[in-house]
Amino acid sequence: MDKRAEICNHIKSEQEHTYTSTGVKFWRHKDALDSYRFGTGKTIISTHISPEGSCNLNCSYCSVSKRKKFYRIDLETIKDYVSRLKSRGLKAVIITGGGEPTLYPFFNELVTWLKNEEKLSVALITNGTNTHLVDKSVWRMFSWVRVSLNFIDDYEEKIKFPDIDGVLGASMVYIGQTLQEMKDLSAFVDKRKVKYIRVLPNCLLEQDSLINEHIKIQNMLDKLGDERFFQQYKLHGSPCSSICHQAYFRPYLSEVDGGTVFPCDSLVLNQEQMHFSHQYAICKPNEVLDFLDGKIGMKFDAKKLCSGCVFAENIRLLDEWYRTGSGKFGEFDRPLLHEEFV
């Protein structure tokens, strides 16, 4: 099998299943899957929330570089949205961007409310350059934190890894870094309690270029020989269904227009606009239960408009479950790490 075929037929690693959304964790939530199949509306497992549009960095590969940076979600709007989803099974919240989430003025208050009052698992995706804005006690509340390792000038000084009780990980976009630069990065994380470093290509590339980048990354990681590094394969595909099934399990609350619910956090990959397009918007956050109950439908055909989808395999397995009731619960009958973050 040549390298291109090997990439296209890649069998996901244990690290990918553990630290990324490969779909296997859905099988740990039979109640939610049953609810989806039988239309009872209690399908929510997790949600992503992007509270803040502004960011202090300007990365060349940013997929939302043309977002409106003054967008921000009111704290009470987020609380209302979360409370509504809790009535439908919500177990976990991932705070992400949009912009850089730690710049959100009410960040500490939000995390404390989610963890202490709502008793939810909370995770964070951050660029790591504003850790001083977060209270030390708040860092202890996260189940996991993933720091984006951007190769900015003096990144060793600017990017800080927080002290957390949960799993600390990192992620980097490969944009042609040399082997020496990767070795320097490996040394940089040595003194931190970093469990893993996810490496992925610029997902905005066309499919052929994307595959070539995956080949380069694998060659680089083979030479690096650091088991903390793993590659997440991001190949574009079109969903098998006109409906984005995944949206009913893990919707995304974006900062767009002060709060807009989208099916997922990768829709920007479907276009070259570098921001979330309104044609993919589902509803406002206070309408999310109407969406779950079928009173509000998706206004787009995922099969036609989501050709850049990186969750196509997840949607395929959910579609098969919805149509046939064929699942893999028996293969995943033991607890999985962070299984509430599907």
159 residue type, one letter: I
Residue 117 counted as domain residue: yes
| pLDDT tens column, 156-173 | 899 999 999 999 999 999
* Range list of β-strands (E), 127-187: 144-148, 167-174
pLDDT band at 62 (very low <50, low <70, confident <90, very high): low
Residue 306: band (very low, low, confident or very high) from pLDDT cuts 50, 70, 90: confident
Range of the domain at 156: 44-165+250-288
Q: Residue 214: inside a domain, yes or no?
A: no
Query: With 80 as the cut, is the pLDDT of residue 273 above it?
Result: no
Gap between the terminal Cα atoms of the chain: 32
Strand partners, 237: 309
| pLDDT tens digits for range 209-223 | 889 999 999 999 999
Strand partners, 121: 92
Which residues, 6 or more positions from 303, have their beta carbon under 8 angstroms from its beta carbon? 238, 239, 240, 241, 242
pLDDT, position 233: 85
Number of domains in the chain: 1
Whole-model pTM: value is: 0.94
- Decide if 282 is inside a domain: yes
The answer to whether residue 92 is domain-embedded is yes
Residue 70 located in a structural domain: yes
Q: How far is CA 259 from each of CA 20, 54, 98, 253, rounded to the nearest angstrom?
A: 25, 14, 11, 6
Here the CATH number for the domain that contains residue 59 is 3.20.20.70
Burial class (CB in 10 A: 0-12, 13-18, 19+), 336: middle
pLDDT in tens, 23-52: 999 999 999 999 999 999 999 999 999 999
Angle at 120 between CA 119 and CA 122, to 5 degrees: 130
Distance of CA 333 to the CA centre of its chain: 24
Please report, rounded to a whole number, the percentage of residues in the chain having pLDDT higher than 90.
74
Asked whether residue 148 is domain-assigned, the answer is yes
Does residue 195 sit within a domain?
Answer: no
DSSP count for the chain of H helices, then E strands: 12, 9
